[in-house]
Amino acid sequence: MKKGKYILALFLIFFVLIIATIASFFYYEIGRPPAIPALSYLEIKLEGPLQEYPETNFWASLVLGARPLAVYDIWMCLRKAKVDDRIAGVLLRLGVLDCDWAKCSEIRDSVLDFRKSGKKIYAYIEEAPEFDKEYYVATACNKIILHPLGWLGISGIGGYVPFFKKALDRLGIEAEFEHVEEFKTAYNMFTEKGFTEAHKIMTEAIYRDHFEHYVRAVAEARKKSETEVRGLIDEAFFQGKRALESGLVDDLLFDDQVRGLFRKEGRPSKRTTLAEYVRIDPVSVGLNTGRRIALIYGTGPIHGGESLYQSMGSETIARWIRAAREDKSIAAIVFRVDSPGGAAVASDTIWREVALAKKEKPFVVSMSDMAGSGGYWVSMAAHKIVAQPQTLTGSIGVLTGKFNLSRLYEKLGVTAEKISFGKRSDIYSTFRGLTAEERQLFKKQILWIYDQFLIKAAEGRNMTKEEIDKIGKGRVWTGSQAKQLKLVDEIGGLAKAIEIAKGLAGVDKTEEVRLVIWPKKTSFLGAFFGQRETPLGIRLPSGLEKALAAAGRLDQEKIWALMPLIVNF
């Protein structure tokens, strides 16, 4: 009987090893660079969710399926295609992108840089009734091509901001939040029935700045006046011939005709997809060599503990920054931030590591779609901050609070009896509201945190506390506005941030550098046997309980440096 159990156990071990070997084989086979024939063109499909950096963990890749569309991949592949003699040009197939304006600006900058090679890059649109951000990207290309029956919509920027207070009142839910100060409107959708004056001023200013930048860019690219562009936006929808007549597109072609755009001397060109080309080592085309610069990604809401999928855990980010600081071979650090903020203490933990790293080597922040509140907190100690014109940043302010569900419980017939030791032991309970005294207590706590925010921002930006307070009070600014207010130093994207980091490190701007990227890629065997990581990329030095603890802390942290939601409905 025992012999049979041993045989079964050995069989299971052997089976697991075989499966692991096969999975690892396929993983690395997929990772091998493809053969790129001469006279190829790179085809990039820009559609759907757009991340900052692709998922690097084997388990997460397995769960999520295909490699997600990522800004880093597009940026690096266009850089490679620019110098790769095998690539004759690029075709962007544009669909509706799920991202904000700054990521679109990042791609647009990369397209303009690619054009310096003299190679052609074309944008192809089949049908897009809501297409302003995407059209903004398309205008950087040599030509914009529309399907002959295609529908192009450029209707402008705006929409509706929802408010849920009336609905919550009907349900018996009361949102009780204290904030610093009047522009800190992250929870206004739950506490107000419409815009407060400050909320409206801020939101209109953001939309207006985005719109004006959009109009200027389109006017310059399409060789029109801004008045003409505004008129076309008011017309909104263009189909086929009308889009061509209006000067919004350069040609009307079917898909098979588009594929022939890169023919040379009668020879057909070969298509290379982004999924294939991303596997080409940049070193093979002369890029990513030389002195080392760390590129650290901090994306998503900020919380204590380890990072979860698309979130910024303070322990994880602090560990990465510390590793880059202590690595003597790394000449400078670029911190790519895309975050609406989160827990104040977690943000301060990351700020501390940035401040320490700054003392030892150049530290540059590159802001993506947003770096507001906690996202600005983790950035403000850097030597230089670079933002796109449309980056949402600032929001120097703090809030705290809870939802009172007592009336909802009453409607549902839910009852509770109180057992409490300590006058404030039930202050966060959903079974009762806050007293006036408790509201003042909350206000006092967040005013102290706000004061620390002001002090550290003033130190980082070489301004006075009073100057920061005037542009703080929770207000969100666009990148272009923030530059005028000295909250950021330069307008640009990742390439600009790397260029500045090179300059600060004494590296010639024409010299290539090797990017050392965090998060690191994890293989199948590494994830299964070596590095102790969960399917979502959380490093677990003490096991699974560490991941569960990290998730639980999202609910435990009560004081937030969180920016308001800017949405279109």
Positions marked active-site: 373
| Bridge-based pairing state of the strands 341-343 and 559-562 | antiparallel
Among positive and negative, which fits the CA dihedral 79, 81, 85, 90? Answer: negative
Give counts: helices (H), strands (E), the chain. 22, 22
Q: Find out whether 536 and 128 touch, Cβ atoms under 8 Å.
A: no
Contacts of 501 (CB under 8 A, 6+ apart): 293, 331, 332, 333, 334, 362, 364
For 393: left if phi > 0, alpha if psi spans -120 to 50, otherwise beta; the answer is: beta
- Secondary structure of 51-120 in HEC code, one letter for each residue: ECCCCCEHHHHHHHCCCCCEHHHHHHHHHHHHHCCCEEEEEEEEEEEECCHHHHHHHHHHHHHHHCCCCE
Length of the chain: 569
Place of tokens 């542009």: 471
Contacts of 555 (CB under 8 A, 6+ apart): none
- Dist CA 147 CA 254 (whole Å): 6
| Bridge-based pairing state of the strands 237-239 and 330-339 | unpaired
